[in-house]
């Protein structure tokens, strides 16, 4: 089954982007240092050492078995915690409003939509900024399409963000921030 999905990914023009791959691309695009990665995870509520961060940022080779001591898989919860920590890292800690929890609740939202939303907040991007970033990577979408990607899951106009948009958004960030 995995071979079929792998072949299908090659035919369609891409692979399923794993959470570890997203972190690797995000770290590269924004030139985040390893020590900052440790701090961001900590701000998001996850204690990792610098060695652990390097294991999360390791991409296993396709044809080799993954050794547990060489690789830490980034779960959806871990990625969301990182993104929450990244918001705090970039914008500072905010005092919760009365009745609001201390930390944002971990959602079960599609990870690519979450990536767009959280990075939009962390980097103080407008919708126009996101459209420009995607355009830098060669992807043209309308404001309406972007709005659908940024909506809350369950909204009638919500649209799930595909790997192509997420991958190209990270590519556009690299172009914008690394020039």
pLDDT in tens, 65-75: 666 678 899 99
Range 10-29 average pLDDT = 77
In this predicted structure, the answer to whether residue 124 has a pLDDT above a threshold of 70 is: yes
- DSSP string spanning the chain? -HHHHHHHHHHHTS-PPPHHHHHHHHHHHHT--HHHHHHHHHHTT----HHHHHHHT----TTSPPPGGG-----HHHHHHHHHHHHHHHH---PPPTTS-SSPPPP---HHHHHHHHHHHHTT--HHHHHHHHHHTT----HHHHHHHHSPTTSTT--PPPHHHHHHHHHHHHHHHH-
pLDDT given at position 11: 35
Q: Looking at 3-12, 48-57, 95-104, which range is the least confident one? A: 3-12
pLDDT mean across residues, the chain: 86
Note the pLDDT of residue 1.
35
Q: Specify the pTM.
A: 0.83
pLDDT value at 57 more than 50: yes
């Amino acid at each position: 089954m995995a071979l079929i999905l792998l072949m299908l990914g090659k035919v369609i023009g891409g692979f399923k982007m794993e959470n570890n791959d997203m972190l690797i691309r995000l770290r590269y695009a924004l030139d985040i240092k390893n020590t900052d990665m440790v701090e961001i995870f900590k701000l998001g509520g996850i204690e990792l050492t610098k060695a652990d961060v390097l294991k999360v940022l390791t991409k296993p080779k396709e044809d080799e078995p993954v050794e547990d001591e060489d690789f830490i898989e980034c779960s959806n919860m871990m990625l969301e915690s990182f993104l929450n920590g990244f918001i705090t890292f970039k914008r500072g800690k905010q005092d919760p409003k009365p009745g609001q929890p201390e930390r944002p609740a971990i959602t079960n939202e599609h990870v690519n939509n979450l990536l767009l939303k959280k990075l939009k907040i962390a980097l103080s991007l407008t919708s126009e900024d996101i459209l420009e970033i995607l355009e830098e990577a060669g992807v043209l979408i309308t404001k309406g399409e972007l709005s659908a990607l940024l909506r809350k899951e369950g909204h009638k106009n919500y649209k799930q963000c595909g790997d192509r948009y997420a991958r190209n958004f990270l590519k556009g960030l690299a172009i914008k921030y690394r020039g």
